[in-house]
Structure 1
Amino acid sequence: MEILTMLSELTTPDSLYYWETWIDDNFFLLAMFVFAIELIRYVFKRRISWQLIGDSATNFVTLGFLFVMVFIVGLAYVGAFLFAYDNWSLTHLPLTGWTVVGCLILADLAYYWEHRFLHSNGFAWGTHSVHHSSPFFNISVAYRFGPLDWFFPFFFHLPLVLLGFHPFLVLMCETIVQVFQTLLHTETVKRFPRPIEAVFNTPSHHRVHHAANKRYLDKNYAGILIIWDRMFGTFAREEEKVKYGIYPAVNSVNPIKVLFHGYWKLTQQIWHAPSWAYRFQLLTRSPHWAWEQSQKRRRNDANPS
């Protein structure tokens, strides 16, 4: 109860804006400190390479692109939340410790479904595949963003505003979930005690999510709580060695190629599609469906009847 009372004192609209800004400004420094430790670990394990360094640098370039896009559309994003809150929300919930905790849990659930959506159709995968395209797994990969990664969160977090949570509280909870996610991108931490692994998302669970192994595909979408994956049937435990990246591999540290490879590939698929119905399915069906269809077409071309 004391924690909830303290949260109540800190949750005025002004303080929410302050804490969101503080998290954004200071957490990056912590992440860079952790990344430096990871680089030292790579050196001691003799796994450091120019490809890894180039890949990491590319990750931060894509982060810079995201910052530019957020700067351009950020005011519209916040303005739309505020307009919806003032005109369409079911109620205006008070800013208390309970509503902070409730909003954070719901924001985490919203993140799960947003993340799952990004894997479910070609249009969204075109941007999210950038995040999965690195053959490495370290803190810098958390900052590997696609060209439309700023676009999709709005639609999954807007319902929280319509339920009556203050927009700045929703934005702060979005930020907390993203910050938690960042720390999961590491091979340094193996596993936590079982109770933690059972309830929370961990580096082990998130390594599974980034895996290209067939048994791990489309698993562990969680943000903070892994219980969502357990509830909705998308959980997988890390059991075999993880292979990172996507197929086909990007094989480049050119930031422009990395940033736009997903939509470039999708554009090529649409251009060479045999029909408009097929083009529509490329946008709306999963990338696995598109891959299976391409394999069928290749087999048919190689063995015409």
Structure 2
Amino acid sequence: MEFMSEVFLARDLPYIEAWIDDNFLLIALAIFGLELVRYAFKKKLTMNLVGDSITNFITLGFLVIIIFFVGLAYLGAFYYFYNNWSITQLPITGWTILGGIILADLAYYWEHRFMHINGFAWGTHTVHHSSPHFNISVAYRFGPLDWLFPFFFYLPLVLLGFNPLLVLLCETIVQVYQTLLHTEAVKKLPRPFEAIFNTPSHHRVHHATNKQYIDKNYAGIFIIWDRMFGTFAREEEEVKYGVFPRINSVNPFKVYFSGYVKLTKQLWNAPSWGYRWNLLVKPPIWAWEQEQAAKKAAALKQ
């Protein structure tokens, strides 16, 4: 009986993931419609917000096109490592699904944190943070290399023996949960829930430009990772969204490539190859600090 349940779970994993992919976007669109009604009632519905939201969904379309071409290679690489390098091959059961979700969420935390502290990775992730608004459409605001970096953080799960299809399913579950966090309609949830799980309140902090909120709350499902690793911040003062400098555009192509256009300009104008290397590997705040120091030095010379 246990063997039959394992076969059933293994057989149905692709269908479960396909159902999530096919149906959750429709659910998200319905929720987004309700958010627009809420904005209208609060008299906050503007053409900029609508245009920004449309741009968000267009960047999702760009990502889908890329995944269409690289998706099989992504899965094929997982299976190569699974068949040749994994330390074991775990059966697909309720327990391995639960364990896979927890470990996938931990992998997401470190991937997300890396995207904020590495200049090259930030070039794609900054797109997600560049919206001055915060609603469920922002969850679908993607950059050109958002498909690349997760591979390296979820690969350890494959090497531990988790079936690649199960890893992709767990990755999808984490992403779906994350989608629901992009809203201002939900304030704070009951304290026990806020203590363990990521919530809209916690994720608003993550998208903030307020100084005390910068680089906080990287979690996917469980906020306990941020509490454990010292990156947690509670939502207190009003959140201001976006990045510096602001894009001030709803052109989907300008938004989509904005991070790497900025990085390319920085690399071109860099004073040395060492400076260029630091732009690629250090946190984006490093470049800002260098620019401020250069401005102060120039002011003192005058």
Helix, strand or coil: the match of 1:16? helix
Identity %: 68
**1:292 counterpart residue number:** 289
Structure 1 vs Structure 2 CA RMSD:
1.4
Work out the CA distance in 2 between the residues paired with 1:78 and 1:32: 28
Matched, 1:141 2:144: no
**1:212 counterpart residue number:** 209
**1:192 counterpart residue number:** 189
Work out the CA distance in 1 between the residues paired with 2:5 and 2:287: 47
Matches within 5 A, 1:1-305: 8=6, 10-12=8-10, 14-304=11-301
User: Residue 294 and residue 303 in structure 1: after superposition, are their counterparts in 2 closer, same or farther (change >3 A)?
Assistant: same
Work out the CA distance in 2 between the residues paired with 1:116 and 1:211: 15
C-alpha contact (below 8 Å) 2:6/2:91 kept by paired residues: no
Helix, strand or coil: the match of 1:55? helix
Work out the CA distance in 2 between the residues paired with 1:211 and 1:9: 45
Work out the CA distance in 2 between the residues paired with 1:90 and 1:158: 13
C-alpha contact (below 8 Å) 1:7/1:100 kept by paired residues: no
Helix, strand or coil: the match of 1:191? coil
Work out the CA distance in 2 between the residues paired with 1:299 and 1:252: 30
Work out the CA distance in 1 between the residues paired with 2:261 and 2:158: 34
**Which residue type is aligned with residue 162 of structure 2?**
F
Instruction: Show structure 1 runs of 4+ deviating over 3 A.
Output: 4-10
Work out the CA distance in 1 between the residues paired with 2:252 and 2:32: 19
After TM superposition, give the deviation of residue 96 of structure 1 in Å: 1.0
Helix, strand or coil: the match of 1:303? helix
User: Unaligned regions of 5+ residues in structure 1, if any?
Assistant: none
**TM-score (structure 2 length as normaliser):** 0.97
Work out the CA distance in 2 between the residues paired with 1:189 and 1:99: 32
Q: 1:262-296: per-residue Cα shift (whole Å, max 9, x none)?
A: 11111111111111101100000001111111111
**TM-score (structure 1 length as normaliser):** 0.96
Work out the CA distance in 2 between the residues paired with 1:9 and 1:98: 14
Q: 1:50-101: per-residue Cα shift (whole Å, max 9, x none)?
A: 0001000100110000001100100100000111111110000111111110
Q: 1:74-129: per-residue Cα shift (whole Å, max 9, x none)?
A: 01000001111111100001111111100110000000000000000110000000
